[in-house]
């Protein structure tokens, strides 16, 4: 049986709880309540015959939901995506044979976001274009199959929306070569499919925790191999020593057997386990 999926209604109730509100047990998906209780994130309170749920660790729950159900995106952003129609119908997609006339459905928002702090010449739909978003904006690539960049450009995948928004405040981390920042919003495999089609090196900038490393290994390294690396800042060991102990404890049972054949990444895994702490990538925004 596959993993359950969050519905719009269930996510709306979860967001109330992430804002420290309680929710009647009858209004909350039972399967999700069971999972959150198993992770130690949910408490049950009673008032007469009525049961209600409240989160014991809202931030820990937010991270758990991002890692397990929204592919690293904030629940608010995921809800916004669910509120948009996932399918559109276009005249060009109508089957022309009268005896087999069907409407063919197409995904809305196929593609991903890109950003950069220095202009990058690219090719989109066989036409040259200049990528140069102004501050507080990004470009959505709707047709990644026809999107190409110069081979000397490094691609940095940013998992967290806030880090993607403030790339200029993290320029000190990535200024040694020309860089295109990408963010896989909405949640899809479009970004990885595009990365597989180009020769450029890929650097994954995610949270420094076991769940973040697992995402990299299972969704990027698996397909890209050594062309994909996990970004490990020079000072990460120092930052881990003062990192988040509670989040490490929440993730440990699920990811305690995590290993990598990459020596640098295995060092990071060992460091996280040595200090029993994690560190969120937002901490690198100046």
Instruction: Report DSSP letters for 73-85, one per residue.
Output: S-HHHHHHHHTS-
| Residue 50 binned pLDDT confidence (cut-offs 50, 70, 90) | confident
Q: What is the mean pLDDT of the chain?
A: 86
Confidence of residue 97 (pLDDT cuts 50, 70, 90): very low
Burial class from Cβ neighbours inside 10 Å (0-12, 13-18, 19+) for residue 10 reads middle
Locus of tokens 């209604």? 9
Residues 272 and 217: their CA atoms lie apart, in Å, by 16
Fold (topology level) of 8-82: Arc Repressor Mutant, subunit A (1.10.10)
Confidence (pLDDT) at 169: 95
Start and end residues for every CATH 1.10.10 domain found in the chain: 8-82
Q: What is the dihedral of CA 215, 14, 55, 35, to 10 degrees?
A: -60
Residue span(s) of the chain under CATH 3.40.1360.10 come to 108-284
CATH class held by domain 108-284: alpha beta
Torsional sign, CA 225, 227, 228, 233: positive
Report how far residue 114's alpha carbon sits from residue 125's, in angstroms, rounded to the nearest whole number: 16
Res 239 pLDDT > 60: yes
Residues in CB range of 124: below 8 A, 6 or more apart: 141, 143, 146, 147, 148
List pLDDT tens digits, range 117-170.
999 999 999 999 999 999 989 999 999 999 999 999 999 999 988 999 999 999
What is the phi/psi pair of residue 72, to 5°? 90, 0
Per-residue pLDDT, averaged over 22-31, amounts to 90
């Amino acid at each position: 049986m596959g993993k359950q999926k969050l519905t719009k209604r269930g996510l709306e109730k979860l967001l109330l709880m992430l804002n420290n509100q309680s929710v009647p047990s009858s209004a909350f998906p039972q399967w999700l309540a069971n999972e959150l209780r198993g992770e130690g994130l949910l408490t049950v309170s009673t008032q007469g015959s009525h049961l209600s749920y409240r989160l014991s660790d809202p931030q820990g729950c937010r991270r758990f939901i991002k890692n397990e159900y929204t592919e690293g995106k904030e629940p608010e952003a995921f809800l916004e995506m669910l509120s948009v129609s996932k399918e559109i119908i276009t005249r060009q997609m109508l089957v022309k044979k009268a005896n087999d006339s069907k409407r063919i459905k197409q995904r809305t928002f196929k593609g991903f976001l890109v950003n950069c702090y220095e202009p990058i010449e690219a090719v989109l739909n066989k036409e040259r274009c200049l990528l140069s978003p102004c501050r507080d904006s990004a470009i959505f690539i709707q047709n990644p199959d026809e999107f190409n960049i110069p081979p000397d450009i490094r691609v940095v995948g940013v998992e967290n929306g806030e880090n993607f928004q403030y790339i200029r405040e993290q320029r000190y981390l990535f200024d040694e070569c020309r860089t295109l920042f990408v963010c896989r919003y909405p949640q899809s495999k479009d970004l990885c499919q595009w990365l597989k089609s180009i020769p450029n090196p890929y650097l994954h900038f995610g949270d420094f925790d076991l769940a973040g490393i697992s995402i990299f290994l299972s969704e990027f390294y698996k397909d890209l191999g050594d062309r994909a690396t996990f970004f490990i800042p020079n000072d990460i060991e120092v930052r881990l020593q003062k990192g988040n102990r509670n989040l490490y404890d929440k993730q440990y049972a699920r990811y305690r057997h995590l290993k990598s054949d990459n020596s640098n990444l295995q060092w990071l895994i060992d460091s996280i386990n040595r200090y029993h702490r994690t560190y969120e990538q937002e901490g690198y925004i100046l």
